[in-house]
Amino acid sequence: MKMYGVYRASMNYLVTGLAVLSTIVVIAPLVAILVYLVYKGASSLNLAFFTHIPRPVGEDGGGMANSILGSGVVLALASSLGVPVGIAAGVYLAEFGRGRMLANAIRFTADVLNGVPSIVMGIAIYSLVVMQQKHFSAFAGGLALAIMMVPTITRTTEEMLATVPFAVREAALGLGVPKWRTVISVSLRTASPGIITGCMLAFARVAGETAPLLFTALGNEFWSFKLNEPIAALPLQIYKYATSPYDEWHRLAWAGSLVLIVLIMVSVTLVRIFANRGALKGNS
């Protein structure tokens, strides 16, 4: 009996130790990646990186200014398409469809769509837009990313609206405000910090997407401003440079990754602070 007690106690310590160890093992690669990224990337960041377009192989210098601009264009396009649709769908689920079978089906579909690989979105948009138009375009890239943003935004919008108490809506309705006004000025307004969080998370997620852009935006070595032409994007350029055999390009890939990570981490962190401060707390 005593032996069994020793076994139980040591098992307890063993598992506790393993849990701590696995946490360390998980945190380690993250720290390794971030440290290595800063170490390799920071030394390659300079003014030229942000102001110049890439030089041909063999020439020193050059930067990724056109990729940064291109990423901005594609992401702006994706957000302007994806955010309104995503929020509207979330509003339907929370305000109009609560408890209905249709809403449950839509919610489930959104969750499943969230897990569809991004490369599938890429070839779908390729098949629809690029094959029709016979050329790659910034517009196609934006569309592919927009489709990826919709389900994420829909689900967070719905969850945030669900935390707005009914009494708040009834207060507005009681004053004779029509339903649509109530949704816009009361429900959406009250839940806005959470909804903005959802949009930023969706944005951060697609900002680093490469696969769907491979066959839609394609990439471009020069400045590109037109929406129906191939356009450069930061993740695409990182991929191209990382898989190239040239040291100069590797250097640019590290710098580009650092810029991308900083952008994503800043937006995620800002969002966390923002959401924790602004959200409606208490009863929900």
**Which parts of 148-187 interact with other proteins (CB under 8 A)?**
150-152, 154-156, 159-160, 162-163, 165-181, 183, 185-186
Phi and psi (nearest 5°) for 200? -65, -40
Q: Does 44 contact other proteins by CB under 8 A?
A: no
Query: Which residues is 231 bridged to in the sheet?
Result: 218
Question: Where does this chain touch other proteins (CB under 8 A) — which range of 50-58, 61-69, 72-80, 203-211?
Answer: 203-211
Cβ 77 to other proteins shortest distance, Å = 17
**Region binding other proteins by CB under 8 A among candidate stretches 5-13, 48-56, 63-71, 72-80:** 5-13
Residue 136 near residue 216 (C-beta atoms within 8 A): yes
For other proteins, the closer of residues 66 and 249 by Cβ is 249
Smallest gap from residue 67 Cβ to other proteins (A): 12
Q: Would you give the end-to-end CA distance of the chain in angstroms?
A: 50
Would you state the structure tokens that stand for residue 39, as one six-digit string? 């170490």
Q: At what angle do helices 247-278 and 2-42 cross, to 10 degrees?
A: 120
Q: Does 208 bind other proteins (CB under 8 A)?
A: yes
Q: Is position 231 an interface residue for other proteins (rule: CB under 8 A)?
A: no
Contact flag: residue 264 with other proteins (CB under 8 A): yes
Task: Give me 35's structure tokens.
Answer: 């440290």
Distance, CA of 263 to CA of 266 (rounded, Å): 5
Q: Which of 268, 257, 266, 270 is nearest to 34 (CA)?
A: 257
- Do residues 137 and 217 touch, judged by C-beta distance below 8 A? yes
Residue 218 pairs in a beta bridge with 231
**From candidates 95, 191, 251, 252, binder to other proteins by CB under 8 A:** 95
Residue from 83, 138, 194, 224 in contact with other proteins (CB under 8 A): 194
Q: By rule CB under 8 A, what string of x and - marks binding of each residue 103-132 to other proteins?
A: x-xx-xxxxxxxxxxxxxxxxx-xxx--x-
Nearest approach in angstroms of CB 189 to other proteins is 7
